[in-house]
């Protein structure tokens, strides 16, 4: 057993400990995962000397962290092995350091374990590998235990000739045991072992990998005897669930002997002869996301590792766009997620605007000192399309709005409308027009008369308070919510376009960092003008220090021309929540999800999401931190 270190013992070996970070294979998407495994297999095939990889699981500052350390017989060999890991697996070498001790204090050896200053340690070895098909990352069943522990992989390359001689010797031994067996009662275990040995010889003969002598051992400790023994029992049950076996490692295989002897091999070490692909399934980096990056918005925790999960809502060299799209059924927790992001961003000084078709975001907007504007109830702000747009873009924005309200416009009608925009108005001076002022000019034009009649109900009476009211829109100092729910149904698309036009112009004018949240984006994107405008924001908002968060209900929204491309090409992060029916197949095809992920999406609970970001994916639970509803910021 070589997984446990005693603080202060054997400083020469401590100097050879190198901490190495690499992607969590369980949180890596299929194509990058295959590349990582190919790199790991190449690293194994290039090993020239024995190495040990130790996963140290420790609880620190309320979070369990699992670090991986590499040990070798010399500093030169360790440096060579880590350099190859960097090159082939994208690993990050954090440098030589002090391996975190499992326990400290005076040692007392017992029959079934070791005691240090009141803390108990039990040692285990893997005597039988899983007899069911396992995928890389299966070691999580062992290192995922919420208890301080060390798991060590001792990997020693074996020359092909030596491996073949050992296998032939093993086959002769098995044949002799079969001859000794009762002819009427053949032992199926012997047949299984013989088949495994022959298969290993065939793999080596075909050159499909090297042979390695591998030992897997564990030290579990850091607490009272009862607590440690309960953890050990859980680990042994998990191993049995994979038809593997963890057995006690007695003291002559224990960590005290290894510390005293450095690299001296335990007298009864239990090893297995494995090929390169088999050893690669022992990928040890299994810690999910680490600490949040500075400036990240905490949105919850990782379901497997319980570590914090955040969104990086600022463009960087690694993520040139910082947009996020959330897809989930009604009631899955999308609006709660938007609240966490909005509150966190506003409190961090990022100006935040939410377009709210269902009036669900008033509470948090006002809680952070912002303003909530319910368009159905008016207010002190006017959204005049000519004033809200950037200089030189007012006529184009007005034409898009009129095309939605009273269109589609024929070419003669579009020409009549533009002529009305340019016509001088008595007593207007340099002030911008409103749509109602264009009606007399268009009514006098044969090509614009019909358009004026169709537009009149929108810009006079109650409609005029929204679509033909002077004003450049509200000033945003901290947070602004714009509610659309109580508007007449037929007004909503036009109101959303008017607000979005103002929003895009404001984002271009205001140099401050900004966060734009559009709820029910798929519903709004049913209008081509709105879909085009949201696509423009998604592609260009980062140039104006902004990030876009889109929330939509159904995967079918991804099939919309323009909007589906918007999500696929311009969202650095995708969060997918509870989905059923044909929507799962759309997601599987569009985002290359596995069958297991699709099954999980059909049974996940409220607040649980599959998070896809670049080469990584993780199952997360959206929830506020214990310190406040806004979450922590790294």
Q: How far is CA 454 from CA 101, 181, 420, 470, 494, in A?
A: 79, 97, 15, 21, 14
User: Do residues 256 and 109 make contact, with C-beta atoms less than 8 angstroms apart?
Assistant: yes
Lowest mean pLDDT: which of 176-185, 221-230, 260-269, 515-524? 260-269
At residue 5, the pLDDT reads 41
Decide if pLDDT at 633 tops 70: no
pLDDT confidence band for 139 (50 / 70 / 90): very high
Cα(372)–Cα(364) distance, integer angstroms: 9
Tokens of 566: 């918007």
pLDDT confidence band for 565 (50 / 70 / 90): low
Decide if pLDDT at 252 tops 50: no
Nearest to 509 by CA among 355, 352, 382, 390: 390
Residues 6+ apart with CB under 8 A from 413: 447, 448, 450, 451
At residue 143, the pLDDT reads 93
Q: What is the mean pLDDT of residues 16-31?
A: 89
At residue 96, the pLDDT reads 81
Tokens of 416: 């009549």
At residue 256, the pLDDT reads 39
pLDDT confidence band for 22 (50 / 70 / 90): very high
Q: How far is CA 228 from CA 17, 240, 257, in A?
A: 26, 19, 21
More confident residue, 107 or 228: 228
Q: What is the mean pLDDT of residues 414-422?
A: 90
CB atoms within 10 A of CB 559: 12
Tens digit of each residue's pLDDT (9 = 90 or more) over 371-384: 999 998 876 778 88
Cα(155)–Cα(70) distance, integer angstroms: 11
Residues 6+ apart with CB under 8 A from 48: 77, 80, 157
Decide if pLDDT at 259 tops 70: no
Tokens of 282: 């022992």
At residue 410, the pLDDT reads 92
Domains observed in the chain: 11-158+210-280 (3.40.462), 382-472 (no CATH)
At residue 425, the pLDDT reads 60
* Length reported for the chain: 634
At residue 430, the pLDDT reads 63
Tens digit of each residue's pLDDT (9 = 90 or more) over 465-518: 889 888 888 888 899 999 999 999 889 889 989 998 999 999 998 888 999 999
Decide if pLDDT at 592 tops 70: yes
At residue 542, the pLDDT reads 87
Tens digit of each residue's pLDDT (9 = 90 or more) over 378-410: 767 788 899 888 888 888 999 999 999 987 899
Lowest mean pLDDT: which of 54-63, 251-260, 330-339, 600-609? 251-260
Cα(354)–Cα(327) distance, integer angstroms: 17
Q: What is the mean pLDDT of residues 340-350?
A: 92
pLDDT confidence band for 184 (50 / 70 / 90): low
Packing angle between helix 528-540 and helix 492-509, nearest 10 degrees?
A: 20
Q: How far is CA 11 from CA 14, 17, 128, in A?
A: 5, 10, 33
Q: What is the mean pLDDT of residues 459-467?
A: 88
At residue 369, the pLDDT reads 93
Lowest mean pLDDT: which of 265-269, 312-316, 509-513, 600-604? 265-269
Q: What is the mean pLDDT of residues 180-184?
A: 62
Taking the CA atoms of 457, 459, 460 and 466 in sequence, report the sign of the dihedral they define.
Answer: positive
Tokens of 301: 């925790």
At residue 263, the pLDDT reads 37
At residue 560, the pLDDT reads 54
Q: What is the mean pLDDT of residues 446-459?
A: 92
At residue 258, the pLDDT reads 43
Mean pLDDT of the chain: 83
Tokens 């609970």 belong to residue: 605
Q: What is the pTM of this model?
A: 0.84
More confident residue, 143 or 199: 143
Lowest mean pLDDT: which of 181-190, 355-364, 438-447? 181-190
Cβ neighbourhood burial of 155 (10 Å; 0-12, 13-18, 19+): buried
Decide if pLDDT at 631 tops 60: no
User: Do residues 526 and 556 make contact, with C-beta atoms less than 8 angstroms apart?
Assistant: no
More confident residue, 337 or 540: 337
Tens digit of each residue's pLDDT (9 = 90 or more) over 99-124: 887 877 666 666 666 776 678 888 88
At residue 390, the pLDDT reads 83
């Amino acid at each position: 057993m070589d997984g446990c270190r005693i603080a202060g013992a054997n400083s020469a070996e401590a100097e050879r400990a190198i901490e190495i970070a690499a992607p969590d294979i369980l949180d890596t998407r299929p194509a990058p995962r295959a590349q990582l495994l190919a790199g790991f297999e190449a690293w194994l095939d290039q090993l020239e000397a024995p190495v040990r990889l130790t996963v140290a699981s420790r609880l620190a500052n309320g979070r369990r962290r699992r670090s991986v350390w590499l040990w070798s017989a010399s500093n030169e060999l360790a440096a060579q092995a880590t350099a190859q890991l960097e090159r082939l697996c994208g690993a990050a070498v954090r440098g030589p350091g002090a391996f975190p001790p499992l326990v400290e204090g005076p040692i007392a050896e017992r029959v079934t374990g070791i005691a240090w200053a009141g803390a108990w340690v039990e040692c285990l070895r893997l005597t039988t590998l899983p007899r069911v098909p396992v995928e890389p990352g299966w070691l999580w069943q062992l290192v995922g235990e919420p208890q301080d522990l060390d798991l060590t992989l001792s990997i020693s390359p074996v020359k092909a000739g030596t491996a073949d001689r050992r296998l032939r010797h093993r086959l002769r031994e098995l044949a002799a045991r079969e001859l000794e067996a009762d002819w009427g009662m053949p032992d199926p275990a012997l047949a299984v072992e013989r088949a495994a040995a022959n298969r290993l010889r065939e793999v080596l003969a075909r050159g499909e990998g090297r042979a390695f002598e591998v030992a897997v051992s564990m030290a579990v400790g850091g607490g009272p005897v009862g607590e440690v023994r309960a953890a050990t029992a859980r680990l042994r049950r998990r191993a049995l669930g994979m038809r593997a076996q963890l057995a006690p490692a007695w003291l002559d295989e224990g960590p005290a002997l290894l510390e005293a002897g450095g690299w001296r091999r335990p007298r009864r070490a239990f090893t297995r002869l494995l090929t390169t692909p088999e050893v690669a399934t022992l990928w040890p980096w299994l810690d999910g996301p680490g600490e949040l990056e500075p400036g990240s918005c905490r949105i919850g925790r990782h379901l497997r590792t319980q570590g914090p999960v955040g969104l990086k809502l600022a463009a960087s060299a690694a993520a040139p766009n910082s947009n996020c799209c959330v897809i989930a059924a009604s009631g899955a927790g999308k609006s709660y997620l938007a609240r966490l992001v909005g509150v966190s961003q506003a409190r961090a000084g990022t100006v935040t605007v939410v377009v709210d078709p269902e009036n669900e975001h008033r509470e948090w907007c006002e809680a952070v000192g912002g303003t909530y504007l319910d368009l159905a109830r008016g207010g002190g702000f006017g959204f005049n399309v000519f004033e809200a747009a950037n200089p030189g873009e007012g006529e184009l924005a007005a034409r898009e709005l009129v095309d939605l309200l009273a269109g589609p416009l024929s070419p003669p009608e579009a020409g009549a409308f533009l002529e009305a925009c340019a016509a001088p108005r008595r007593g207007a001076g340099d002030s911008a027009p409103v749509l109602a002022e264009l009606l007399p000019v268009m009514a006098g034009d044969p090509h614009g008369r019909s358009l004026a009649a169709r537009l009149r109900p929108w810009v006079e009476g109650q409609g005029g308070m929204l679509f033909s009211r002077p004003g450049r829109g509200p000033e945003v100092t901290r947070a602004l919510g714009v509610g659309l729910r109580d508007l007449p149904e037929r007004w909503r698309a036009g109101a959303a376009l008017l607000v979005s036009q103002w929003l895009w112009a404001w984002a271009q004018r205001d140099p401050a960092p900004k966060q734009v949240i559009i709820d029910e984006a798929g519903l709004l994107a049913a209008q081509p003008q709105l879909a085009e405008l949201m696509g423009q924001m998604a592609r260009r908002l980062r140039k104006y220090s902004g990030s876009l968060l889109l929330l939509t209900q159904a995967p079918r929204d991804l099939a919309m021309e323009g909007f589906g491309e918007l999500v696929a090409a311009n969202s650095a992060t995708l969060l997918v929540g509870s989905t059923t029916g044909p929507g799962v197949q759309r997601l599987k095809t569009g985002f290359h999800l596995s069958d297991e992920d699709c099954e999980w999406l059909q049974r996940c609970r409220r607040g649980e999401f599959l998070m896809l970001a670049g080469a990584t994916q993780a199952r997360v639970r959206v929830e506020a931190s214990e310190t406040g509803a806004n979450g922590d910021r790294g």
